[in-house]
Amino acid sequence: ETNSVENKNNYKYHNGGRVPVGIGRKRKRIVVTGGAGFVGSHLVDKLIARGDDVIVIDNFFTGRKENVVHLFGNPRFELIRHDVVEPILLEVDQIYHLACPASPVHYKYNPVKNIKTNVMGTLNMLGLAKRIGARFLLTSTSEVYGDPLEHPQKETYWGHVNPIGVRSCYDEGKRTAETLTMDYHRGAGIEVRIARIFNTYGPRMCLDDGRVVSNFVSQVIRKQPMTVYGDGKQTRSFQYVSDLVDGLVALMENEHVGPFNLGNPGEFTMLELAEVVKETIDPGAKIEFKPNTADDPHKRKPDISKAKELLNWEPKISLHKGLPLMVTDFQNRILNEDEGKGN
Ligand code: NAD
Ligand code: UDP
Ligand code: UDP
């Protein structure tokens, strides 16, 4: 293990501490795990645009090189194919830990692997943060509230989660990741941040990842009916990805540990969402009802007073404004797919 490493950013790392070397602009070196995924790739774009050096760690389970291909050749960008379940040695200032599939279809595909990613992956990134004195941000989820008995959900709510259900690998995995994060903070004095992210949509989502916004948009572009699960009266609050990325950076740069809810409080039933998708893409679009999945939360809406007050953050883009931005990206990718180019 290297005990002293000089990097190009005027820092020297020595025995786990960070020592400035000379003067100059303090460009940060940042790791983004899961940086080839939907949210991660947008975050990486923002950090690179700000002038920082970014290392993406991704095993490409749900991420795609296409999401970051525009950064290939940029000397400030580095991509490492690596599974966070395995340890890794790096020297950085900040760690944004996103690696974990977010769609229920993806995490249910291999639930045990999902738990390993959340527990061992988070442990490794916290061990890394401890060794090099980096600040660590966990992207947790509104799923820690489970099928909530409080509405809207505040950060003080402890949740209503089934420990043995088909969603538990994700819900309980993230809850454990939050626990680990706080234990490293309290026990090892690591600087940590916790974001609880509510449903987010935008360009670069996987076309067929099974989440409701990507499903409805792909279905209507392909002239298929939108699949509404259950009676469609369950609610979610949909946040546009650039709002989330702004919130994650604000959280990382501020002094508060959290947890902070990051979401758009606009609440929609799935039937209302289908209406918005219809208005945006094709007024003739149809819906079809399908049986709902097990343990589906009935409602979800963030109380974001804490982030508003302490991070001075709130979402700016409504569903009506954000959806068309995603639709353009999906139309292009579905067209390419139809022309046999893949995506
Ligand atoms: P995503 O599936 O698009 O991205 C996850 C990325 O992590 C992918 O690039 C994937 O290949 C990578 N990954 C998965 N397992 C890995 C492993 N073991 N090692 C290395 N890389 C691995 O999902 P997203 O929507 O971008 O979500 C990013 C983060 O935000 C996740 O932690 C997710 O739980 C959290 N989150 C997202 C939402 C949302 O609505 N998008 C909501 C709540 C929380
Ligand atoms: N770890 C890592 N990179 C590092 C430092 C640690 O991947 O730079 C991993 C390490 O392999 C271990 C985990 O992080 O599995 C937790 O590390 P910590 O030092 O906290 O615990 P220990 O190694 O003592 O179990
Ligand atoms: N859903 C739906 N049709 C779909 C996919 C999902 O009606 O094609 C519903 C799902 O039952 C849930 C809501 O949409 O009530 C949000 O599901 P998603 O998987 O997007 O996110 P999560 O359940 O993790 O909030």
- Is 202 a residue whose pLDDT tops 50? yes
Q: Is 242 helix (H, G, I), strand (E, B) or coil?
A: helix
Burial of 312 (0-12, 13-18, 19+ CB in 10 A): exposed
Residue 236 CB less than 6 A away from ligand 3? yes
CB of 62 shorter than 6 A to ligand 1:
yes
Which of 277, 115, 107 is closest to 206 using CA atoms?
A: 107
For the ranges 17-21, 173-177, 182-186, 203-207, the lowest mean pLDDT is seen at 17-21
**How far lies 1's CA from each of 47, 131, 340, in Å?**
28, 10, 47
Nearest CA to ligand 3 atom 25: 199
Prediction pTM value: 0.92
Ligand 1, residue 121: give the atom nearest the CA: 18
The rounded distance, in Å, linking the Cα atoms of 19 and 5 is 10
**Residue range 15-38, pLDDT digits in tens:** 556 655 444 458 999 999 999 999
Among protein residues, the one with the nearest Cα to ligand 2's atom 25 is 127
Instruction: Give the helix, strand, coil percentages of the chain, each rounded to 5.
Output: 40, 20, 40
C-alpha–C-alpha distance, residues 213 and 224, integer Å: 14
φ and ψ at residue 309, rounded to 5 degrees: -75, -50
Token duo for residue 245: 């990325």
Q: Which residues pair with 53 in a beta bridge?
A: 29
Three-state SS across 259-286?
CEEECCCCEEEHHHHHHHHHHHHCCCCC
CB 248 within 8 A of CB 96: yes
Which run of H or E residues covers position 131? Answer: helix 122-132
Confirm whether 170 is a catalytic residue. Answer: yes
Q: Is the dihedral of CA 144, 253, 311, 183 positive or negative?
A: positive
* Mean pLDDT across 91-114: 94
Three-state DSSP state, 325: helix
Q: Which ligand is nearest to the CA of 37?
A: 1
Per-residue confidence band for 1, with pLDDT thresholds at 50, 70 and 90:
very low
Which atom of ligand 2 is nearest the CA belonging to 124? Answer: 14
Are the beta carbons of 209 and 224 closer than 8 angstroms? no
Using an 8 Å Cβ cutoff, are 206 and 45 in contact?
no
Q: What is the pLDDT of residue 339?
A: 76
pLDDT of res. 23:
41
Ligand nearest to the CA of 263: 1
pLDDT beyond 60 at 195: yes
Asked if the ipTM is above 0.90, the reply is: yes
Structure-token match 């960008």, residue found: 77
The residues near 329 (Cβ < 8 Å, ≥ 6 apart) are: 202, 203, 204
What's the pLDDT tens digit per position in 312-324? 999 999 999 999 9
* Residue 215 and residue 228 in contact, taking contact as beta carbons nearer than 8 Å: no
